[in-house]
A and B are shown apart, each in its own frame.
Chain A
Amino acid sequence: MLKLYHWEPNANSGKPMLALAEKGVAYESHYLDLLSFDQHQPEYLAVNPDGTIPALVHGDLVLTESTPIMEYVDEAFDGPPLKPTDPVERWRMRWWMRFFDAYFAPSMSMIGWAVFVGPVARQRDPEVLRAAIDRIPLESRKIAWRKALFNEFTPEELAESRRRVLFCTDVLEAHLAKHTWIAGKTFSLGDINGFNLGYALPLSQPDHCNDARTPHIMEWLRRIYERPATKATWALGRTPMVQRVAFLERGNTHLSAAAVQQSVLPGNSQGWKKP
């Protein structure tokens, strides 16, 4: 049986979830609450000693890198191909996935943790948080979690992340003005990757990413949102965070971004607890 250990359909967890849904491959879902540090508990460390999410377990094999996992899912299972047949498009798909993973996403997540996740997580006992950090196996992840949980980002780091997010939004808009999909003419893993990163961009950067300023990004996000696999995958979410995806419903544009954000974003820590 295929098992997927994941958090919300969002960022790295959402990549294999959506790829599996697009392929029509059933899997046993193991939900880990990232903010309760389920991923650093002994039961999960027995699966992935690095304590990172997601992990795909296929028979005896354990796969832990989300973007390579998506390529594995496409190659190991029957179902609609999620990579273009044209080698240049495949190259472009991979180039953009790396750009998303290593440039765009770290800046997005730094802002997300500083203004959104961090304040919610800090409602917990600091000693509990410190103990949780001590259990993280990878030193690099320890540093990242410490920064996130205790808001150790410098103003310069946050300003640079904001600059990069706006820059990437412009680069992506220009790319999608030339290409229907990330790889070119073909829907692919690149779009699955990009959607997980950017589905809430119109809400987090409403002045920068909107119908007037970035029409190609908006249309691209809506086209992916309307796919049955996306709808099915986002329905698996348990927190208000992923409900932001509803903003992409055509006709929802009359809602102001601020109103939607207000309805699902902090202030309501209950939303972060397991149902």
Chain B
Amino acid sequence: MIALCHWEPNGVFLKPLIALAEKGAPYTSHWFDPTAFEQFAPGFPANTESALQLEREGPLLVVGGEVLSSTSFQLEYLNEVVTGPDLFPASAHDRYRVRAWVQYLGLGLGPVVSALGCARFLRPVLAARESAALRAQLAAIEPLERRNAWLAVLDGAVDEAAWQQRLAVPVARLEKALTGADWLAGPAYSLADIDAYALVAPLRTLAPAVVNAVTTPHLAGWLARIDERPAVRAALALSRSGQPEAAWVPGTEPSRWG
């Protein structure tokens, strides 16, 4: 039986929840609150890869003693081992397109979305808990990049305009790809759509001037098609807060090359 350690169905946490719902697969849900630092508690599933994963905080799949992190690769794993509808295209080229999209968006769009989400929603939560105890918890986080990602939410300068600007290229590329195509990689809904939806859907809240029905009509239409999928509704219905769109934790680091 697959176990999934996850939080609110938002951002990267949403990806495996949708995939498992699309598959109709049984799994054991282990809810944790990363803002309470439960993922650092003794006994929480961990390995080298989960500590160093570039998404920083995210869901974990636990299968037969193995701990699998990094959501795009969790999706490929789930599609390979779980019965149910095949969520990967049949042709090698469409499969390439899935992988190229998730890499491009994960490294390009992922850092911007999590930074905007953290600035809007996590920063006030941490600020309200400002205390020596919180600082001690943050100071104990390893590795350094993971600790610094949390500290940046609390202490870093927020240049929301610059972040919004960084959305322009990937959003334009998505809009172009979806002009004349219903789905991102091939003739059918696939892992590329699940992966991208988890990163793009929050922009309707975080950057409504960038993603909306007027300036990005094809992207908006694609989001609406995915919104309506029963598996997506089922995944979002797992929210305990009733506001999954407010659930953010530090994510992928932006490119250090500028």
On A, residues with C-beta under 8 Å from B are 58, 61, 63-65, 67-69, 71-72, 75-76, 87-88, 90-92, 94-95, 98-99, 101-103, 106-107, 110, 139-140, 143-144, 147, 157, 160-161, 167, 171, 174-175
Residue in contact with B70 in the complex, picked from A95, A143, A174, CB distance below 8 Å? A95
Given A68-B99, A91-B68, A95-B70; A103-B258 close (CB under 8 Å): no
Listed A/B pairs (22) with beta-carbon separation below 8 Å: A58-B93, A63-B100, A68-B99, A69-B96, A71-B95, A72-B92, A76-B93, A87-B81, A88-B64, A91-B73, A91-B74, A91-B77, A95-B73, A98-B70, A98-B103, A106-B257, A107-B256, A110-B256, A139-B169, A140-B169, A144-B258, A147-B258
Any chain A CB within 8 A of the CB of B37?
no
Residue contact B103 to A65, C-beta cutoff 8 Å: yes
Residue contact A157 to B256, C-beta cutoff 8 Å: yes
The stretch from B10-18, B48-56, B204-212 touching chain A is B48-56
Residue contact A143 to B96, C-beta cutoff 8 Å: no
Chain B residues within 8 Å of A98, by CB = 54, 70, 72-73, 103
Given A95-B69, A144-B257, A157-B256; A102-B54 close (CB under 8 Å): yes
Residue in contact with B100 in the complex, picked from A65, A140, A143, CB distance below 8 Å? A65
Residue in contact with A76 in the complex, picked from B76, B92, B103, B257, CB distance below 8 Å? B92
Chain A residues within 8 Å of B72, by CB = 94, 98
Report Cα–Cα, A88/B72, bound state, in Å: 14
Any chain A CB within 8 A of the CB of B66?
yes
- Measured CB to CB, the closest approach of chain B to A70, in angstroms, equals 10
- Which 7 interchain pairs have the tightest Cβ spacing? A68-B99, A143-B258, A76-B92, A72-B96, A75-B92, A94-B73, A65-B100
On B, residues with C-beta under 8 Å from A are 48-49, 52-54, 63-64, 66, 68-70, 72-74, 76-77, 80-81, 92-93, 95-96, 99-100, 103-104, 107, 143, 169, 255-258
Chain B residues within 8 Å of A95, by CB = 49, 53, 68-70, 73
Report Cα–Cα, A147/B63, bound state, in Å: 44
Chain B residues within 8 Å of A67, by CB = 99, 103
Report Cα–Cα, A92/B67, bound state, in Å: 10
- Measured CB to CB, the closest approach of chain B to A2, in angstroms, equals 13
Given A110-B256, A143-B257; A171-B96 close (CB under 8 Å): no
Chain B residues within 8 Å of A91, by CB = 68, 73-74, 76-77
Chain A residues within 8 Å of B76, by CB = 90-91, 94
Chain A residues within 8 Å of B63, by CB = 88
* Apart from the given pairs A71-B95, A76-B93, A91-B73, 11 other A-B contacts in the complex at a CB distance below 8 Å: A72-B96, A75-B95, A87-B77, A88-B63, A91-B76, A95-B49, A95-B73, A98-B72, A106-B255, A106-B257, A161-B256
Report Cα–Cα, A257/B155, bound state, in Å: 43
Q: Which residue of chain A has the shortest Cβ distance to B143 in the bound complex?
A: A167
